Structure 1
Amino acid sequence: MKNITILLSVFAGILLSSCDDVLDVKPENYLFEEQLVTDDKSAQTSLVGVYTQLNGTYIHQFAEITTPLMDGSVIPGSTAAYYNEAASNGFEPSSGIINNIYENIYAVANSANATIKNVSGNTLVSEAESKRILGEAYFMRAFGHFEVLRLFGQFYDVSSAYGIVLKKELSTVANSQIARSSVQESYDFIVSDLDESIARNVIFSQNYYASSTTAKAYKANVLLYMGGEANYTEAIGLVDEVIASGEVTLEPNFEDIFSNGEANSEVIFTRVAAEGQSSKFSFYYQTAIKASDWIKDYLLDDPRAPYSYDDSNNRVKKIYTSEIGGGPRNFMRLAEVYLIKAECQARLNQLTEAEATLNIIRNRAYSGAAPALIYTTQQELLDLVFDEYVKELCFETGTVLSAAIRFGKLEEIKVDVTSPDQYILPIPVSELEANLVFGAQNPGYE
């Protein structure tokens, strides 16, 4: 057995180097197969390595910028070719940036696989720590696959064959040839991992660690994406459990979510650069993108507007503020969970209930006195739910892009989008060349 020493820099920023097979990535900062987990401390080290993957440049820079460019809520502030590709929803499968986004996100899932392999059934790790660590690792594997599916798979159509490669075990050369799964199979795997996480009942501690509450919130989101009466009903129940837990609560003021960094009561899952310190990534949001005209029209007269972008220069303020030099990347916060519930209720034609849920978010924005919602039909209320996704969550973690696709709004708000083929990114050419059994490229990118 090799005795390899790996120096672990907890939550340090990392850059993942590319390799021939973009899915055969050995995550940095975890214990490899040669280094068996021998106690609680080494098991904890393996888990921390999973979280460090979230600091990959192409997760917290380019993936974060790509989705608002694709939904049109921002426009390029830079002449860089990739930003213009994203703004026109016209990507090249040979793009090195797309390859690295793909690779970096899969590295999260692959790192989780390493932890699951090293800790599962390991009698040298205490029962309590094994339960906690596996609960978090299963969530992170689900998280990684869900992020890949939303960017590279036809997540909006459960009948589609264009899902993603499911990485169910640690990547090796021997298992690198894996065909893409269908969208339904992809969702089933993600839900299974979230159920594994929920079953271990990890207590919510910090919003930059996973917990059972985190897994429940994400499962509600996945069920919403999958659609169907039974899934909507189950999602509502999970949201109610998240709210009833009291582990996360809405910030009294919208602006406090961002000025408080990760030290707030609302964020369910976020990324940080160092323990106890928000990721202050702001460079690209200062220079590369600006709030677009359509998002400013959506936010016209909305009290959230001054805290979402700077009207003097169109800078995105949710990410960059001069006071703190930037903000964390919030993958999910409680406001989105309320919107998930409102959407599910509206789709089940529970209109009165959906309006009440929606008004919880609206009243926070309007200091308790939101104007009355005006609608007469289910579709009109669904349109109002979509409006709240935009006003509450613009620029955040791809939520508006996914909602615009789900509500059939993307072509309406983005004239550059003329086909569903433009909803997602192409599979990188390097993946298709290395993984010979992958299957077909995404439509429109052949």
Structure 2
Amino acid sequence: MKTMACITLNKKFKSTLLFTTILLFSGFNFSCEKFVDIKKNSSQSLIETADDCQQILDNYSQMNTLYPSDGELSADDYYLGEEGYLNPDVGQEERNLYAWMPTAIRGSASQWQSAYLIVYHANLVLETVEKLKGSADQSILDGLRGSALFFRSFAFWQVAQLYAKPYTIATALQDPGIPLRLNSDINGVSSRGTVSQTYERIIQDLQEAVTLLQPTSIVSSRPNKAAAYAMLARTYLSMEDYPQALINANLALQINSTLVDYNTINRDVFVLFSPRFSSKEVIFHSVTSLAPILNPGSAANNVAKIDPSLVASYASNDLRSVLFLKQNTSNVNVPDTPGSSDSTSVTANDGTYRFTGNYEPNTRSIFFNGLAVDELYLIRAECYARANNVTAALGDLNTLLSSRWNNTSVYQPIVATNVDDALSKVLIERRKELLMRSLRWTDLRRLNHDARFKKDLVRKVVRITPKVIGSISTGYIISFDYPAIATYSLPANDLRYTLLIPNEVIINSSLTQNPR
């Protein structure tokens, strides 16, 4: 039995995956003439057994990584200083997306293709499982089918958050959705269908997956029943179907409701949640593609800085304020003596903060976007509040927050004056808890439909400017100003909340581009 997701593939299988990776990144999801002869020569025939299927699904780098990061890039939890904006690792496409430019578009289809490569391998497993019926253990085949359905729906949902309009009952039957590739034929013609069809397929796959998967898995990179219920809860929440989100959050929490006491986490280590797969809160582990503009870096060398108002919203005894956030520093030249041209470089906290709460143990801009117990408590709390059950909503919220509170002080439970107050407090804590988890963009899209919570976004590129009073010889004080050198805005419900499909996809397919 293979007990780890990062397994060693046999020689035959390595060749298969290498071939399909090159093939798909060259043109998958495009109906191009140059691929018409690939089917009959494809190494798909080498995928013959249940063990082959399990190896595909257990290939962590293939199935659990490189999910789109442009939603997080487009959201409002961070901003840039001038140095970060001009960082040579940050490309012009990222700058355009940061500025919400109407023409902001990816030239390369890498984020699109990475998601559809996962879909391709899921479909390959589904087809092989179907062929193996009657010749292999049905319980094993059921697990493989359930996992493949989960991966396919998970990838579809990620793509839909960027390139399809937000789900609304009024327009879902008309708005263009995303291509729903349901087989491994790379020559199939892609069409967008509707938003309604997109979400129907995601839900259908997940609902079948929960009937096939085991409650838990031996490692969190493998799908399981709790993950499928959790993804259903997330999906229904993004559709604003709060009763169904509540039902599925409940079912997931019945399987796993474990919260980590943040007092047990060493706040001084380089990465908090290490090694990978070690957190008991994580139900399904996956990560986004690298995005240099989101790089938290180190105290002295960082790009993305967390929004100051968000930083200020954490209470002093909230351990997330020290686990999720770390102060940045700047080097400042201080005169050696009053009026002297000679100076000494000193390091000072510059009043900005970077994100350090990634469930993926690294300091780069590869962020956890999987499923975890804390998200489920917040989904359930929000749904309870929307169902006018303030007591249950605050019960879940306080259960979560008490596990994040410094045990050197007594946790004071959050109270609410009415339903709207309870809902508002849940949403505030949702943003603080799920920081940089690729969920904020989806939340903005759905909450913009509610006049109480819609938000016109404004963000800046700032110049971090030190002010020095005094000298080394007499003593000095350093303060910082943050004048904006550029300001950008995105009104609620703007068309730009649906990103433009990458240019490479449009050129090589018959898909229609999103409007501007």
TM-score (norm 1): 0.81
Asked if residue 165 in structure 1 is aligned to residue 175 in structure 2, the reply is: no
Match of 1:373 among 406, 409, 414: 414
The corresponding residue for 1:214 is: 227
Q: Which has the higher strand share?
A: 2
Match of 1:263 among 266, 278, 295: 278
Retained in 2: the 8 A contact 1:267–1:330? no
**Alignment of structure 1 residues 307-322 onto 2, 5 Å:** 307-313=323-329, 314-319=353-358
Mark the CA change 1:297 to 1:406 in structure 2 (over 3 Å): closer, same or farther: farther
Give the share of equivalent positions with the same residue, in percent.
Answer: 20
Retained in 2: the 8 A contact 1:401–1:410? no
Give CA-to-partner distance per residue, 1:342-393, whole Å, 9 cap, x none.
Answer: 1111112222211111111121122574434353333222211110111101
Mark the CA change 1:394 to 1:103 in structure 2 (over 3 Å): closer, same or farther: same
The corresponding residue for 2:486 is: none
Structure 1 range deviating more: 79-88 or 387-396: 79-88
Q: Aligned partners of 1:328, 1:152: CA distance in 2, in Å?
A: 20
Q: Would you say how many aligned residue pairs link Structure 1 and Structure 2?
A: 412
Match of 1:427 among 493, 497, 501: 501
Mark the CA change 1:435 to 1:249 in structure 2 (over 3 Å): closer, same or farther: same
Mark the CA change 1:430 to 1:181 in structure 2 (over 3 Å): closer, same or farther: same
Matched AA of 1:411: K
Deviation of 1:18 (Å): 4.1
Retained in 1: the 8 A contact 2:28–2:113? no
Matched AA of 1:388: E
The corresponding residue for 2:153 is: 142
Mark the CA change 1:291 to 1:162 in structure 2 (over 3 Å): closer, same or farther: same
Matched AA of 1:400: R
Mark the CA change 1:111 to 1:17 in structure 2 (over 3 Å): closer, same or farther: closer
Deviation of 1:262 (Å): 2.0
Stretches of structure 2 that go unaligned for 5 or more consecutive residues are 1-10, 36-40, 266-271, 330-352, 460-488
Match of 2:75 among 71, 74, 94: 71
Asked if residue 293 in structure 1 is aligned to residue 308 in structure 2, the reply is: yes
Stretches of structure 1 that go unaligned for 5 or more consecutive residues are 274-278
Retained in 2: the 8 A contact 1:163–1:183? yes
Detail structure 1 runs of 4+ shifted over 6 Å in the superposition. 8-11, 14-17
Give CA-to-partner distance per residue, 1:231-266, whole Å, 9 cap, x none.
Answer: x333323222222224x5111217747355420110
Retained in 2: the 8 A contact 1:389–1:400? no
Asked if residue 389 in structure 1 is aligned to residue 430 in structure 2, the reply is: yes
Match of 2:198 among 182, 186, 189: 186
**Alignment of structure 1 residues 86-165 onto 2, 5 Å:** 86-90=97-101, 92=103, 94-97=105-108, 99-122=109-132, 123-158=134-169, 159-160=171-172, 161-165=175-179
Q: Aligned partners of 2:31, 2:197: CA distance in 1, in Å?
A: 21
Cα-Cα RMSD:
3.4
The corresponding residue for 1:303 is: 319
Retained in 2: the 8 A contact 1:93–1:427? no
Mark the CA change 1:385 to 1:32 in structure 2 (over 3 Å): closer, same or farther: farther
Structure 1 range deviating more: 109-118 or 304-313: 304-313
Larger Rg: 2
The corresponding residue for 2:445 is: 405
The corresponding residue for 2:14 is: 7
Q: Aligned partners of 1:293, 1:201: CA distance in 2, in Å?
A: 43
Q: Aligned partners of 1:139, 1:361: CA distance in 2, in Å?
A: 27
The corresponding residue for 1:204 is: 216
